Structure 1
Amino acid sequence: MKQRIVTGLIGGAVFIGLTLLGGWYFYGLLLLLAIIGFSEFLRMNGFGPNHPASLIGYAGMLVVLIPWDELGLSFSSSLPIVWLVMFLLLAVTVVTKNRMTIDGAAFVLLGILYVGYGFHTMYVVRSADSHGLLTTLMAFGSIWASDVGAYFAGRAIGRHKLWPSISPNKTIEGSLGGIVLAVAVAALFSLSAPGVIGIGRALLIGLAAAVAGQFGDLIQSAYKRVRGIKDTGAILPGHGGVLDRCDSWLAVFPLLVMTGLLPL
């Protein structure tokens, strides 16, 4: 427990500090997390770092992650890039004579989108011209509030299992407690800056962050259960891997961006 607390305090301080700085400082943090997280995803699926599919996967993930607009480049659509990466991965199945199957190609492509686009949207929100820091902290605050609310409500009044076959310790009461606290925190952000985000939108942001965040956690739990592992990695002592800590983020930020709930 002591190791978990120390790691959490140090990691949290570094994360908050770089988030406040924003710009390339924040992007550098996201880049590091994305590379480590993608390596965890590859390892879970049996791909070594030098496997041809891994090399294509890293390149594809970085293409999705890089903020091309800020480098003076732009694409009318990312679909051709995704198709090209898919084609290269399928070509590996031929070159390796099916030692890597089409299932493996699909896993790598899934990881590229899951990790690359997830962390990309975090940078999009933070770098937004319109109150990027406030909306970033609001999203993270709602996610963390959902975690805290679910934990304490589950311990205090949790009686009915939420999804025992996937995560046996989670309860329906805990899930509802997380939603309530996330919505409350989002409302506080709105009240502190009423000219930026209206209360109605704030409540939707809190709700979306809690529901999507809890699903993100369950998705990762389901995947680890299929792979027969407890943690995705061990880089964070007492906390597991990057994907263990960022599973909610990778679900929430894309949803908030795609729905337009966060003003950009």
Structure 2
Amino acid sequence: MLFLCLNLLYRFLLPATLIVINDIAAYIFGFFFGRTPLIKLSPKKTWEGFIGASISTIISAFLLANVMGRSKWLTCPRKDLTTGWLDCDPGPLFKPEPYSLSGWIPHWFPWQEITILPVQGHALCLGLFASIIAPFGGFFASGFKRAFKIKDFGDSIPGHGGITDRMDCQMVMAVFAYIYHQSFVVPQNLSVEMILDQIFMNLSFDEQQALYRRLGEILQQGFQSHS
């Protein structure tokens, strides 16, 4: 059966939202507190805006992952176009786990234990990348525009220099999110059903029959060796 969506949380929504938050926070912190230029390619960007946006993005990633991770619309894997997939077990990444803070905070503090989702740890990695590395996509775009002596890539979005100016950091983030998802998220959610779905999706009917026969022979040999 076709596996339509592994989970929207890492595929698109959270990484894209973090870039938007970082961009807005950088503008706000730079506008009110910006004094020190960050890079010559983007004269309006400041260290104050960069640092403020980084902190805001990482905190937002941790909180948003908790909110989004509790929504079955974003975490349940889809196998068809019906709504039955909403009744699912989203997996261990989205199950709250208690963490003790006794070794980190004074004993008189009221919250000695907190409950978070394991997925929030992954979100911190995405937030760190979105706040520190992804903005360099914007710096590259700025340098590209200056090399061709143009101010903006277009005027489709007034005041933002067109769609391309809104997508420069998103493209860098999308590549990282995909690699991170495939490397650190997918292996933890693998199941026999998912593996078989991926195998049989690319096999013809005759090839599936041959696979079943071969699996039957392996099982029979295993039984005979233990008998």
Alignment correspondent of 2:14: 138
* Separation (CA, whole Å) in 2 of partners of 1:243 and 1:262: 30
Q: 1:134 to 1:253 in 2, by over 3 A?
A: closer
Alignment correspondent of 2:28: 152
Using the TM superposition, give the Cα deviation of residue 128 of structure 1 relative to its aligned residue in structure 2, in angstroms.
6.5
Using the TM superposition, give the Cα deviation of residue 130 of structure 1 relative to its aligned residue in structure 2, in angstroms.
2.5
> What RMSD, in angstroms, separates the aligned Cα atoms of the two structures?
2.4
Q: 1:176 to 1:128 in 2, by over 3 A?
A: farther
Using the TM superposition, give the Cα deviation of residue 232 of structure 1 relative to its aligned residue in structure 2, in angstroms.
0.9
Structure 2 gaps of 5+ residues are: 71-92, 95-117, 187-227
* Separation (CA, whole Å) in 2 of partners of 1:170 and 1:238: 16
* Separation (CA, whole Å) in 2 of partners of 1:184 and 1:227: 37
One-letter amino acid matched to 1:159: R
Identity of aligned pairs, percent?
Answer: 30
Alignment correspondent of 1:174: 49
Alignment correspondent of 1:257: 178
Structure 1 gaps of 5+ residues are: 1-69, 71-126
State how many pairs are aligned.
138
Q: Once the two structures are superposed, what CA deviation does each residue of 1:110-142 show, in whole Å capped at 9, x if it has no partner?
A: xxxxxxxxxxxxxxxxx9723215652211111
One-letter amino acid matched to 1:183: I
Q: Which has a greater percent of helix? A: 1
4+ residue stretches of structure 1 with deviation over 4 A? Answer: none
Alignment correspondent of 2:151: 230
Q: Which has a greater percent of strand? A: 2
Q: Does the Cα contact within 8 Å between 1:183 and 1:203 map onto a contact in 2?
A: yes
One-letter amino acid matched to 1:179: S
**TM-score (structure 2 length as normaliser):** 0.55
* Separation (CA, whole Å) in 2 of partners of 1:239 and 1:230: 10
* DSSP-derived class of the 2:38 partner: strand
Q: Does the Cα contact within 8 Å between 1:205 and 1:262 map onto a contact in 2?
A: no
Q: 1:237 to 1:153 in 2, by over 3 A?
A: closer
**TM-score (structure 1 length as normaliser):** 0.47
Equivalent in 179, 182, 185 of residue 60 of structure 2: 185
Q: Once the two structures are superposed, what CA deviation does each residue of 1:52-92 show, in whole Å capped at 9, x if it has no partner?
A: xxxxxxxxxxxxxxxxxx9xxxxxxxxxxxxxxxxxxxxxx
